[in-house]
Amino acid sequence: MADLFYTGSTTSSLNLDTGATYGTIDTGDLRRKYNFGDRVSELAIAQDPFFRFVSKLNKKPTDDPHFQFTEKRGSYHKRYAYVTDHGATSALGNSGDSTWDSGESDQGDTYYFKMGTDYSSAGNRQNVYGQSNNDISVGDSNTKPEFFMEGQLVKINTHTAGESPGSGGGEVDNYAIVKVESVADSGSEFVVLKTSVIKAPFSSAASVEIASFDTDTPKGTTIQDYDKSIASQLEQQRCYVVGNANKEGSGFPETWKDQPYSLKTGATQIWKTTMAMSNTARATVLRYEGNEWARIWKEKLIEHKWDIEADLLFGTQYIDTNNGIQYTQGAVDYVLTNGNIFTLTTATKTADDFLDDMSNYLDPRYNGSSANVFFCDTETYNWLHKLGGYFKNNMEVSSNFSADLAVTGRKKVLGLDTTTISTVYGDMNVVRNVHLDGSPVKILAMNMKNCFYRPLVGNGINRDTGIYVGVQTLENSGIDRRVDQILTEAGMEFGMAESHAIWK
């Protein structure tokens, strides 16, 4: 094995130091770096689509191998809470009864609501569909609804008394509008609103039930949020701020501010691929491919890129302090830990089911971007084309009446074959990724605005895929050979977990 690649004593006229302290180690021409950067992604494009996208579109160099970044989430659509207790006096006393009596809900009546919510006010972090990691329940630490102020109008959803709504709050039949007269802390992570009823929640004198309760159990007591559809279930239970009302000549109202930022860290990883050949072999002309060095050189570049693609998909962020090795975050690992998780069995999944998933994933409350790329394994890639092709070819009545899920065209994006599938939620850009074959992931949906490839660049040194060239002499043989090392040091940055998804 030593004759294949020996890294001990070498001889050359370019010794840096041959003193007794350092021995006779020789770097040869290793001081010179041939930087390739983006050119590596030009090789065998279809084999490594994720690396192709991030290296071409979202390259953001870092000058620190252990970098930090922030996420920013808006709060304009998060001014909601759930009723966990209510009553005609500040004593409340109806935490186990969702009924709002008709005699206490007429216009002008005073009524009290204890409110809690299910997202963290630090960073405005919320639950993510299908993601049990770091789920947030009503009343958890750092969830106090701090946005309520005197003078606000709040919408309270209701349904007909006596219904059995079950999980999800039942069908909303009506709503009340109440004006906040004062806000008081209720200990822990809740507030109590003293309100005046502006709009009664019924058209005739009758009791109603507050939709924030699940069969007399207040929201968050026994049910989890991450497995609920926002549009069809959670929204029915939420009580939103819908404006404010003030009298003429009144002074400045109260104000509040959110904290939209959360801090994350990333790490770069070093990839190395080495190729070596004696100068005798390099000078020999062979049949079929005359230059054996050129053949191996190209294969090793593709091998290097293949390794990077696999790590950028399946790697996990880890810093091994024992030996100083860093590992960067992979897209699949990140989304499985933080992003939306859906199920997909091609034998039973229908177009309707898939559109329900798309509705949750592309909810404009947190992911209204059109920069989503859907990387698919081979089976799912074929399934989407079969599904779209069947609708397009067999169910289209005319150009004015066609299916909502249909293959509408193919195009080249950065040289990659990309299929456009039309849905009611916009066009899906679908790309086959063979690295997902044999993995638990069928579709990896990435919002390309929220993931970045971060090569280490600083002080005039660029570690974004370069070639280091050296000349060594085989021990005891006197035969020179060339040794090239392909080296990349880069990391991945993923933000806004709720804008990425996996179907598995």
Which helix (H) or strand (E) is 312 found in, with range?
A: helix 292-314
359 shares a domain with 272: yes
239 shares a domain with 182: yes
Contact 301, 486 (CB under 8 A): yes
Query: Would you say how long the chain is, in residues?
Result: 504
Q: Is residue 249 part of a domain?
A: no
Q: Is residue 433 part of a domain?
A: yes
213 shares a domain with 158: yes
Which helix (H) or strand (E) is 466 found in, with range?
A: strand 466-473
Dihedral angle computed from the Cα positions of residues 382, 387, 389 and 391, in that order, rounded to the nearest 10 degrees: 180
Q: What is the mean pLDDT of each run of 10 residues along the chain (504 residues)?
A: 38 35 38 54 77 90 93 87 94 92 88 94 86 85 93 92 56 89 91 95 78 83 67 84 89 85 93 87 84 87 92 95 94 94 85 86 81 92 76 51 64 85 83 94 94 94 85 67 89 92 94
The tally of CA atoms less than 13 A away on the side-chain side of residue 456 is 20
190 shares a domain with 332: no
235 shares a domain with 96: yes
Residue 388 has a pLDDT of 63
270 shares a domain with 235: no
201 shares a domain with 348: no
The reported pTM is 0.81
Q: Is residue 441 part of a domain?
A: yes
297 shares a domain with 341: yes
Residue 47 has a pLDDT of 85
Residue 217 has a pLDDT of 84
Q: Is residue 25 part of a domain?
A: no
Residue 42 has a pLDDT of 61
233 shares a domain with 183: yes
Residue 354 has a pLDDT of 86
Query: How remote is the C-alpha of 426 from its chain's centroid?
Result: 19
Q: Is residue 24 part of a domain?
A: no
451 shares a domain with 343: yes
163 shares a domain with 306: no
**How many domains is the chain built from?**
2
Q: Is residue 186 part of a domain?
A: yes
Domain carrying residue 364: 33-70+266-503
Which of 211, 244, 277 is the last residue in one of the domains? 244
Residue 351 has a pLDDT of 80
184 shares a domain with 157: yes
Residue 156 has a pLDDT of 95
Dihedral angle computed from the Cα positions of residues 333, 336, 337 and 342, in that order, rounded to the nearest 10 degrees: 170
Residue 37 has a pLDDT of 59
Residue 319 has a pLDDT of 94
Residue 143 has a pLDDT of 93
Q: Is residue 253 part of a domain?
A: no
Which of 210, 244, 278 is the last residue in one of the domains? 244
Q: Is residue 255 part of a domain?
A: no
Name every residue whose Cβ is closer than 8 Å to that of residue 161 and which is 6 or more positions away in sequence.
Answer: 99, 206, 207, 208, 209
